[in-house]
Amino acid sequence: MKVKVDNEEVLELTETMKNVIKHDINEDIFDEDMKRRVKWVLTHKCEQCFQRLKQEWEPKLAAKGVAMLPTDPDAFAQLVFAQPEYKGRKERDIEAKAKEIL
């Protein structure tokens, strides 16, 4: 079984690895269970990141005078990303590193 992201293989379960997992997971539902687990991991990560984004940006948006915040997570995230002062992780890391050098 291979797990790919954007057609790039990120993990291949060997037969031995699959059999080890099948010690706990019924082989009749193995494929379905593995897909469910991959989906859960990525969905959970997104949910946790969204909660941190929301905690950080709700007060910032309120301070900017934004009175109505979207309740839809995608709409809220797009509102945040549209802010001129928004910086992604890479930009924040670069800035932090530059401050360390000074």
- Which residue range(s) make up the domain with 74? 2-101
What confidence category does residue 101 fall into, taking pLDDT thresholds of 50, 70 and 90? confident
pTM, whole model, 2 decimals?
0.83
Mean pLDDT of 6-15: 96
Alpha-carbon dihedral sign for residues 91, 96, 101, 102: positive
Which pLDDT tens digit goes with each residue over 39-54?
A: 999 999 999 999 999 9
Q: How far apart are CA 22 and CA 47, in angstroms?
A: 29
Task: State how many domains the chain has.
Answer: 1
